[in-house]
Amino acid sequence: MPASLDIAGFAVLLLLALAVLAPLLSSVRTIQIPLAFSLSAVASLAAVVAGIMTVASGSVASATISIGLPGLPFHLRLDPLAGFFLVVIGLMGLFVSIYSIGYVKGYGGVRSMTQMICFYTLFLAGMLLVVLADDAYFFLVAWELMAAASYFLVMYEDEKGENRRAAFLYLLIAHVGALAILLAFGVMAGQSGAPGFVGYTFNAMRSAQLSSGWAAAAFFLAFFGFAAKAGVIPLHVWLPEAHPVAPSNISALMSGVMLKTSIYGICRFAFDFIKVFPWWWGGVVLALGLLSAVLGVLYALMQHDLKRLLAYHSVENIGIILIGLGLSMIFAAFQMPTLAALALVAALYHTLNHAVFKGLLFMGAGAVLHATHVRNMEEMGGLIHRMPWTAPLFLVGCVSISALPPFNGFVSEWLTFQAFLLSPALPHPLLKLLIPLGAALLALTGALAAACFVKVFGVVFLGQWRGHQKPERIHEVGPSMLVGMLLAAISCLLLGIFPTWVIGWLDTIPEQLCGAKLAESAGKFGWLWLTPIAHERASYSGPVVFIGILVVVAVTWLLLHVHATSVSRVPIWDCGFVKLTPRMQYTASAFSMPIRRVLGFLFAVREQVEIVPHTNHPALPGSLQYRLRIRDRFWNWLYAPQGDAAYWVARQVGRLQQGRIQIYLLYSFVTLIVLLVFLG
């Protein structure tokens, strides 16, 4: 077994051993949390090392473990695509494990740490095994391990009804998706021509000769199953329910990396198993990606719950990743390998970027929740004074997800725009017309995301405290939580400044899947300039932009402080009021109101204004109470009718239970008569 697969196997075995030993560690509670999460960080770092080595070398390693069913052992394979996703999972596993050392202590004495540690390590191990699996049976075992562990983590605070409801909804949609993936594997295995269980190995599926109809059936079954796990609209309803109620370290992993296992599955099916497909497959992926991106950010703008808002942004960013994958599939269908490589690299880079900045944002939200014990942004404000370290780290995540330079979100979205701008090279006239509209929708998504995080940071960290508790009780979080967030923030910056190094490392993946490498640098500038196709078309230099921003900031600081005597300092304008109070601040509801007025038809909006009369005279109102409820239309359109139908069928079937022995004997008699008639 090659070294990289050895290291990955060590990471998995260490995590599984921690899950088994977690009950034994409960007897030494003083070291249980730091030891378990420190070793989880070590295992995650090992996965990162294995992935970096595999992608850099472009090697493929495989192994067989004889612990599966008779005649169907577990097959493992580590190629550059799997290696990349090992890096994504391991990197966030490392950051979140360090963060969890401090975060999980907040549950001490109230919750079972054994349960958290056991399912946390199983969750990480399941995600690693998903990308290492090389047969359908092992893949689905790992997939179910990942789903089951995350289900128990979502329901960690199981005394709350919303947690139980969210966990049930998540598990239901996850299993519907898993059934579709199982059927997709069945189609591939049935068409592979291999005897018995051999057809369920991925090697047999790679060599399968599929007709166009069976290929479409296999791909779209798989796409449906993975889209349900990824939260692609309209299969997204579980995501804004599960993420807010899960512990924040788990939300960071679920949003940052668990959703990416679905991206891995789509890439594996499209580019590795099927390889040749018509352009309209990519068109479907592109259309659903655009729908998820635009509606995801619009739904996020309407939210007041901080973690629910971040969950909807996961829908948006999964949409952006699918946009890149859809463009890559379209270019590949028209035999344009260089452009297909560009779009695929854009999608993979955004996969890595989203994992890092969304993990950072969820860890920041967890820090805020840890300090304030509230998720409603309307009850926050002024936290920059009480949490001076968390605020700038959270700001890094806000700038990154808003795709602003010099941070990482800008680079991957810029690469996606470059793929859009090269779409006129496509020979199909319809695509030449429609794809530029997709670029416009992506630009709209970026603008709305920036507006959303202006709202988030302004309402949560700036202004004055709005909450009921005394702000003096709010304090900064501990060092381990800050270190986890700091490492993620540094990664956001480095991925934005040095994209040419990352893309040069990534080039082995499009070379194997698309048959072309992306020319990440050109001319005499070398690593300094990112030039996706040619420097005559477009170039971007992360280091130059970063240095330019530093120079502007330094000059501004010098002008304000060295020549401070020329600056007149006066009290802030109070709008004619003698004293500003927290009630006079701009709220999250007010911030999103203009967009709600224009695009309110997309949501189920219910606004109520109630006048509370004065106690002395009803003509003199004492106060106004404003209530706003925004619901997802997809729930009412797709899911509520199915739930109502299921309950109706259950009530009708329930009528069979009469509670009388005579009726049950009659059922048995009728059943015997029917069997005698049809089997006789």
- Rounded to 10 deg, the angle between the 113-132 and 259-267 helix axes is 10
Q: Residue 193: helix, strand or coil by DSSP?
A: coil
Q: Which two tokens stand for residue 463?
A: 């202004």
Beta-carbon contacts of 183 under 8 Å, excluding residues fewer than 6 positions away, are 221
Check whether 520 has a pLDDT greater than 60.
no
pLDDT-based confidence at 95, cuts 50/70/90? very high
pLDDT of residue 2: 66
Read off the pTM.
0.90
Check whether 524 has a pLDDT greater than 60.
no
Cα–Cα distances (Å) from 521 to 409, 530, 607, in that order, read: 20, 5, 53
Give the mean pLDDT of 491-509.
90
pLDDT of residue 84: 94
Check whether 519 has a pLDDT greater than 70.
no
Contact 408, 400 (CB under 8 A): yes
Q: Among 328-337, 373-382, 450-459, name the one with the lowest average pLDDT.
A: 373-382
- Rounded to 10 deg, the angle between the 259-267 and 306-333 helix axes is 10
pLDDT-based confidence at 78, cuts 50/70/90? very high
Contact 263, 222 (CB under 8 A): no
In angstroms, the CA 133 to CA 39 distance is 23
For residue range 214-225, what is the model confidence (pLDDT) as tens digits? Answer: 889 999 999 999
Q: Which amino acid is at 676?
A: L
Burial of 296 by CB count in 10 Å (0-12 exposed, 13-18 middle, 19+ buried)? buried
- The alpha helices in 254-336, defined as continuous H runs, are 259-267, 279-301, 306-333
Instruction: Count CA within 13 A, CB hemisphere, residue 227.
Output: 21
pLDDT of residue 522: 44
Nearest Cα to Cα of residue 229 among 265, 283, 200: 265
Instruction: Output 250 or 616, whichever has higher pLDDT.
Output: 250
- The alpha helices in 498-569, defined as continuous H runs, are 499-506, 508-513, 542-561
pLDDT of residue 288: 93
Q: Which two tokens stand for residue 133?
A: 């699996």
In angstroms, the CA 190 to CA 210 distance is 10
- What's the whole-number average pLDDT of the chain? 85
Cα–Cα distances (Å) from 418 to 340, 470, 472, in that order, read: 12, 50, 49
pLDDT-based confidence at 240, cuts 50/70/90? confident
In angstroms, the CA 251 to CA 306 distance is 12
Q: Return the number of other C-beta atoms located less than 10 Å from residue 426's C-beta.
A: 19
Instruction: Output 515 or 485, whichever has higher pLDDT.
Output: 485
Check whether 567 has a pLDDT greater than 80.
no
Give the mean pLDDT of 413-425.
88
In angstroms, the CA 428 to CA 335 distance is 13
Check whether 585 has a pLDDT greater than 80.
no
Q: Which amino acid is at 276?
A: V
Contact 450, 404 (CB under 8 A): yes
Structural element, H or E, at residue 496: helix 479-497
Instruction: Output 569 or 383, whichever has higher pLDDT.
Output: 383
DSSP conformation class of 255: I
pLDDT of residue 595: 80
Give the mean pLDDT of 29-49.
89
- The alpha helices in 193-254, defined as continuous H runs, are 202-206, 212-230, 239-245, 248-253
Instruction: Output 603 or 308, whichever has higher pLDDT.
Output: 308
Check whether 179 has a pLDDT greater than 60.
yes
Cα–Cα distances (Å) from 676 to 665, 667, 668, 680, in that order, read: 17, 14, 12, 5
Check whether 523 has a pLDDT greater than 50.
no
Instruction: Output 167 or 596, whichever has higher pLDDT.
Output: 167
Q: Which two tokens stand for residue 170?
A: 């998540």
Q: Which amino acid is at 167?
A: A
**Highest-confidence segment of 87-101, 102-116, 195-209, 601-615:** 87-101
In angstroms, the CA 409 to CA 4 distance is 29
Q: Which two tokens stand for residue 43?
A: 């295992």
In angstroms, the CA 50 to CA 497 distance is 24
Q: Return the number of other C-beta atoms located less than 10 Å from residue 386's C-beta.
A: 18
Q: Return the number of other C-beta atoms located less than 10 Å from residue 220's C-beta.
A: 16
Cα–Cα distances (Å) from 219 to 80, 133, 210, in that order, read: 22, 19, 11
In angstroms, the CA 371 to CA 392 distance is 16
In angstroms, the CA 272 to CA 268 distance is 5
